[in-house]
Amino acid sequence: MSAAALAGRPIDAARRALAERFESAGIDSPELDARLLVGHVLGLDLTGMIASSDRPLTADESMRLDVLAGRRLAGEPVARILGHKEFWGLPLALSPETLVPRPDTETVVELALEMLRESPANKSPSIADLGTGTGAILLALLSELPDATGIGTDISVEALGTATANAVHLGLALRANFIHCDFASALTGPFDLVVSNPPYIRTGDIANLAVEVRAHDPLKALDGGADGLDAYRILIPQAARILRPCGALVVEAGKEQAVQIEGLMTAAGLMPHASPKADLGGIPRAVGARKMP
Ligand SMILES: C[S@@+](CC[C@H](N)C(=O)[O-])C[C@H]1O[C@@H](n2cnc3c(N)ncnc32)[C@H](O)[C@@H]1O
C-alpha cells in the first residue's frame, strides 16, 4: 500500500492497513509496530490516536508514514526508527553504537535487586555495569535505589555519550559516571554489585540472526567469540577483584550458557547463587554469584 493509498484515510483505518501489511511481511508484532509508527508520525500517544481515530491523514503524514513503513519492511527495528526504547519503564535514547535494550535483560535487574536485598547492610550500594550500552541496567538500578551510585563502562565512546545523555535526561546523572575501558580494567572498587550484559553470541551464529539484530545492533555488542564466552572469561575474574566481600555479581547469559558461566564464576573464587533466574520464555537468563566473606 503506497502513500497515495494511505492519504485521506482515517487514522485508525491507516493504522490497520499498515498492520496488515506488516503481518503479511512476516513481522513479529505487526499491530504494535503499526501503532508506534503512526503515533510517531502524528506525534500522538495511544489515547490521542484513539481520540483522533476518524481524522483523515494528510498527504504529508501519509508520505512520512510510508517512508517509515518502508524502513520497517526492510528490517529496521521500530526502536531504531523512533530512536528510543523503553527499558524498566525508563525511556532510553539509542545511537548506532548501542544495543537496543531487551526485555530479557530486565531479569538481570530483578536478580540484582534480589541479591542486594539479601545483604541489607548495603544502605547506599555502589554498582559497576560492565558494557553499559545505553546505560540500561545501571540506570534501572539507580532508579530503584535512591541512595545508590554507579559507574558504567564501555569500549564504545559513542555508547558512553548516549548513556550519559540518558542519565541526564532521567535526572540520575549525579549518581552515575561513565568510563571508557575494557570491562572493569580501569575500576578499582570495591563495589557492592557488579552487573553485566556482555556480548555473548557465538561468532559463527551472527550471520543467522534476524536482520533486525544482525544489520542494526553493533557487532561489538553481539560478538562473544567462538563459543560466545570470551567476555565472561575477562570480566568474571575482574569482577571478583573489584567486589567487596559478600558483594554480588549478576550477568546475563545466552541460551545454554548458564552452566558454563557458573563454572567460570566458581573458578574465579565466587560462590554461584542458588539458581539462575529465568526470563519470561523460561530461559535461565540472569546468573548470579557472591564473593566470599
Ligand atoms: C550486549 S550489549 C549490552 C548493552 C547494555 N548493557 C544492555 O543490556 O542493553 C554489550 C555492550 O558491551 C560493550 N562492550 C563490548 N566489548 C567490551 C569491552 N571489551 N569492554 C567494555 N564494553 C564492551 C558493547 O559496546 C555493548 O555496549
* Predicted local distance difference test score (pLDDT) of residue 1: 60
Q: Using 50, 70 and 90 to split pLDDT, how confident is the model at 293?
A: confident
Residue 132 predicted with pLDDT over 70? yes
Ligand 1 centre from 196 Cα, in Å? Answer: 8
Average pLDDT over residues 231-236: 98
Contact of 97 with 156, CB cutoff 8 Å:
yes
Average pLDDT over residues 50-61: 89
Q: What angle do CA 195, 196, 202 make, to 5 degrees?
A: 155
Rounded CA-CA distance 215/291 in Å is 38
* Predicted local distance difference test score (pLDDT) of residue 84: 95
Q: Which amino acid is at 40?
A: H
* Predicted local distance difference test score (pLDDT) of residue 2: 61
Q: Using 50, 70 and 90 to split pLDDT, how confident is the model at 4?
A: low
Strands 126-130 and 149-154: parallel
Contact of 57 with 2, CB cutoff 8 Å:
no
Angstrom CA distances, 107 to 45, 130, 165, 174, 287, stand at 27, 16, 24, 25, 10
- The torsion angle over the Cα atoms of residues 46, 47, 50 and 52, rounded to 10 degrees, is -110
Ligand 1 centre from 253 Cα, in Å? Answer: 13
Q: Which residue has the higher pLDDT, 129 or 293?
A: 129
Residue with CA closest to ligand 1 atom 19: 182
Ligand 1 contacts CB of residue 131 (under 6 A): yes
Ligand 1 centre from 236 Cα, in Å? Answer: 14
* CATH of region 96-291: 3.40.50.150
* Predicted local distance difference test score (pLDDT) of residue 35: 94
Which residue ranges does the chain devote to CATH 1.10.8?
3-74
Give the sign of the dihedral formed by CA 284, CA 124, CA 101, CA 31. positive
Residue with CA closest to ligand 1 atom 7: 101
* Predicted local distance difference test score (pLDDT) of residue 120: 65
Q: In angstroms, how far is CA 60 from the centroid of its own chain?
A: 33
Residue 3 predicted with pLDDT over 60? no
Peptide linkage before 190 cis (omega within 30 of 0) = yes
Contact of 99 with 133, CB cutoff 8 Å:
yes
* Predicted local distance difference test score (pLDDT) of residue 277: 96
Ligand 1 centre from 198 Cα, in Å? Answer: 5
Residue 177 predicted with pLDDT over 60? yes
Helix 230-242 and helix 258-267, axial crossing angle in degrees, nearest 10: 40
Which residue ranges does the chain devote to CATH 3.40.50.150?
96-291
> Which atom of ligand 1 sits closest to the CA of residue 200?
1
Ligand 1 contacts CB of residue 133 (under 6 A): yes
* Predicted local distance difference test score (pLDDT) of residue 49: 86
User: Maximum Cα–Cα distance for the chain, whole Å?
Assistant: 68
Rounded CA-CA distance 114/198 in Å is 21
Pocket test for ligand 1, best of 85, 154, 195, 222 (most atoms within 8 A of CB): 154
Write out pLDDT tens, residues 8-39. 789 999 999 999 999 999 998 999 999 999 99
Ligand 1 centre from 12 Cα, in Å? Answer: 39
Rounded CA-CA distance 290/243 in Å is 9
Average pLDDT over residues 209-229: 95
User: What mean pLDDT value characterizes the chain?
Assistant: 94
Ligand 1 centre from 57 Cα, in Å? Answer: 41
Ligand 1 contacts CB of residue 30 (under 6 A): no
* Predicted local distance difference test score (pLDDT) of residue 121: 67
Ligand 1 contacts CB of residue 200 (under 6 A): no
Write out pLDDT tens, residues 97-121. 999 999 999 999 999 999 999 886 6
Query: Residue 150's beta-bridge partner residues?
Result: 127, 176
Q: Is 60 exposed, middle or buried (0-12, 13-18, 19+ CB in 10 A)?
A: exposed
* Predicted local distance difference test score (pLDDT) of residue 278: 96
Query: Out of 1.10.8, 1.10.1760, 3.90.700, 3.40.50, which CATH number does the structure's domain 3-74 have?
Result: 1.10.8
Q: What percent of the chain lies above the pLDDT cut of 90?
A: 88
Angstrom CA distances, 238 to 183, 194, 232, stand at 8, 10, 10
- Cell digits of residue 238: 575482574
pTM of the model: 0.94
Average pLDDT over residues 172-190: 97
Ligand 1 centre from 200 Cα, in Å? Answer: 10
Residue 193 predicted with pLDDT over 80? yes
Ligand 1 centre from 77 Cα, in Å? Answer: 19
* Nearest of 96, 132, 18 to residue 64 by alpha carbon: 18
Query: Residue 148's beta-bridge partner residues?
Result: none
Residue with CA closest to ligand 1 atom 14: 131
